Amino acid sequence: MNVTRDRLVTPLVFVALLAVPLLFFDPSTTYISRRFIRVIIFAIFAMALNIIFGETNQLILFMGGIAAVGAYTTALLAQYLGISPWLTLVVGALFAGTFGALVCYVAARRQFTVIVLAIVTFAFQMIISEVLVGLRDITRGSTGFPFRGLELPAVEQLTGLGPFAVQFYVLVAIFAAVLGVYTWLKRSKYGLAFAAIRQDEFAARATGVNVIRLKVFAGFVATFIIGLVGPFYGQTTGLIIPSLFSFNTVDVLVLIVLVLGGLRSRYGPLVGAAVVIYIDNFLGNFGQWRTVAFGILLTILFLYFRDGIVPSLQSLVDDREFPAALSGALGRGKSK
Amino acid sequence: MLARGAELLVDGLARGMILSLLGLGITLVFGLGGILNLVLGVFAVVAVIVCSFILGVVPELLVAGVGGVAAVALFALVVDRSVLSLVYEEEGEDRELLGIFVTLGLSLLFEGLLFVFFADSFFLESDVPSIDLGGASITGSSIAVIVSASVLFGLIYYFFNYTYLGIATRTVIQDETGSILCGIRPRRVQSIVFVLSAAIAGAGGILYALDAEVAPASAFELTTFAIMVSIVGGVDSIRGTVAAGIVLGIIITVAGALFGSYLSTVTLFAAAIAVLIYKPEQIS
Tell me if B34 sits within 8 A of B96, measured CB to CB: yes
Average of pLDDT values for B73-85? 93
Query: In this model, does residue A269 exceed pLDDT 60?
Result: yes
B183 falls within a domain: yes
Q: From residue B196, give the alpha-carbon distance in Å to each of A86, B107, B186.
A: 55, 18, 15
B278 falls within a domain: no
Residue A141: pLDDT band (50, 70, 90) is confident
How many domains, chain B? 1
Residues from chain A contacting residue B112 (CB–CB below 8 Å)? 288-295
Do the Cβ atoms of B97 and A115 come within 8 Å?
A: yes
> Regarding beta strands B136-138 and A145-146, do their DSSP bridges make them parallel or antiparallel, or are they unpaired?
unpaired
**Closest CA in chain A for residue B99:** A302
3-state secondary structure of B89: coil
B145 falls within a domain: yes
pLDDT given at position A327: 45
- Using CB atoms, pick whichever of B105, B110, B266 lies closest to residue A131: B266
Residues in a beta bridge with A267: none
B231 falls within a domain: no
Residue A331: pLDDT band (50, 70, 90) is very low
pLDDT given at position B209: 93
Query: In this model, does residue B82 exceed pLDDT 50?
Result: yes
Say what the pTM is: 0.89
How many angstroms separate the CA atoms of A63 and A248, rounded?
A: 11
Query: In this model, does residue B199 exceed pLDDT 60?
Result: yes
Domain spans of chain A, in order of start: 2-243
Give percent above pLDDT 90 in chain A: 47
Residues from chain A contacting residue B110 (CB–CB below 8 Å)? 295
B258 falls within a domain: no
In tens, the pLDDT along B163-186 reads 988 888 888 878 888 888 888 888
B2 falls within a domain: no
Is the CB of B281 inside 8 Å of chain A's CB atoms?
Answer: yes
User: In A110-162, which ranges are continuous DSSP H helix?
Assistant: 114-134, 136-139, 153-159
Question: Chain-wide mean pLDDT for chain A?
Answer: 87
Tell me if B35 sits within 8 A of B95, measured CB to CB: yes
pLDDT given at position B284: 55
pLDDT given at position A175: 94
Give percent above pLDDT 70 in chain B: 99
CA distance A218 to chain B (A): 20
B165 falls within a domain: yes
Average of pLDDT values for A199-205? 87
Interface test with B, best of A288, A290, A300, A305 (most B CBs within 10 A): A288
Residues from chain A contacting residue B280 (CB–CB below 8 Å)? 110-113, 116
Residue A262, φ and ψ in degrees, nearest 5:
130, 115
Between residues A3 and A269, the one the model is more confident about: A269
